[in-house]
Amino acid sequence: MIEILAHSFMQRALAAGLLVGIVASYYGVFVVQRGMGFLGHGLAHAAFGGVALGILLNAEPLWVAIPFTLAVAIGITWARERSRLGVDSVIGIFLAISMALGVVFLSLKRSYAADAFGYLFGSILSVTTTDLLIALLLFGLALATLPMWGRWAYATLDREAAMVDRLPVARDDYVLSCLIAVTVVAAVKIVGVLLIAAFLVIPAAASRLLARSFLAMTVLSVLGGGASVVFGLAGSYWLDIPSGAAIILVQGAVFLLLLGVVRRA
């Protein structure tokens, strides 16, 4: 591991990966417990639409993708509350619209293949100082919202009871959706649009197999998300395989192993 950290680009990759991995795994427990795993797919595709718009405008894709994905997250939450449609149906609609816009934006750009490829499949080894700053701000934002964890957990486990106790459940839903949206955008550069949904869900799902409380699930998810980045990067370096895919494969292997152990227990 010391040999790997001798390279500055690996140092930036590890730092950004740990920051985003911890935050994504933290929010992932709410996504998994609320049965909203498809939200990761929807917001990842929304992020792709924002990235495509950034490429079209010759601007920094992530800075354009953040407000774009936030708008989609707010739209999903608003439509879910205003209609009788299931959450998966609402997410599917916004996913399709976002992808269609992304295709249109890219079609207006003559040369985009190389730029778009990096965001589709992830490019953690090309993380820049700006990307690292975004990840650091994201981590700081997550720390600042820790006092809200209790309300989020309460509403996740018993939404009706939380509303009866006059907690701001609807407002908290918007806040949580926006935070997840920003996390997705930040992680797109690290694991790519096609893998971020799994990054958001797998550590939390694995921790759910072991945890006996929501707090324990949160802690285990955060630890697992961070560890998967370390082992995934090390594996990608020694095996010469894509880093984003290696991180997800580590997470998947741990989940399948735990699933087998739990079933035999």
4-264 folds as ABC transporter involved in vitamin B12 uptake, BtuC (1.10.3470)
Please provide the DSSP assignment of 123-164 as one string: -GGG--HHHHHHHHHHHHHHHHTGGGHHHHHHHHH-HHHHHH
Q: What is the pLDDT of residue 265?
A: 46
Domain limits, the chain: 4-264
Distance separating alpha carbons of residues 259 and 243, to the nearest angstrom: 24
C-alpha closest to that of 232 among 253, 259, 211, 214: 253
Distance separating alpha carbons of residues 150 and 122, to the nearest angstrom: 33
Q: What is the pLDDT of residue 257?
A: 93
Query: How far apart, in Å, are the Cα atoms of 192 and each of 85, 160, 204, 206?
Result: 29, 36, 19, 21
Contact 121, 242 (CB under 8 A): yes
Q: Tell me the pTM.
A: 0.86
Backbone angles phi, psi at 199, to 5 degrees: -60, -35
Distance separating alpha carbons of residues 203 and 4, to the nearest angstrom: 24
Structure-token match 């594996």, residue found? 235
C-alpha closest to that of 183 among 140, 243, 230: 140
Please provide the DSSP assignment of 37-65 as one string: THHHHHHHHHHHHHHHHHHHTTS-HHHHH
Tokens read off for 65: 């993708």
Backbone angles phi, psi at 258, to 5 degrees: -65, -40
C-alpha closest to that of 131 among 14, 254, 262: 14
90 phi-psi bin (left φ>0, alpha ψ -120 to 50, beta other): alpha
C-alpha closest to that of 29 among 198, 212, 222, 262: 222
Q: Could you count the other beta carbons within 10 Å of the beta carbon of residue 213?
A: 9
Distance separating alpha carbons of residues 54 and 45, to the nearest angstrom: 14
Distance separating alpha carbons of residues 199 and 191, to the nearest angstrom: 8
Distance separating alpha carbons of residues 193 and 75, to the nearest angstrom: 20
List the pLDDT tens digit at each of the 265 positions of the chain: 566 666 777 788 888 889 988 999 999 999 999 887 778 778 888 888 888 888 888 888 878 888 999 999 899 888 888 877 777 788 888 888 988 998 888 888 766 555 666 777 677 777 888 878 888 988 999 999 999 999 999 999 998 999 999 999 989 988 998 899 888 887 887 777 767 778 889 999 999 999 989 999 999 999 999 999 999 988 988 888 888 888 889 999 999 999 888 765 4
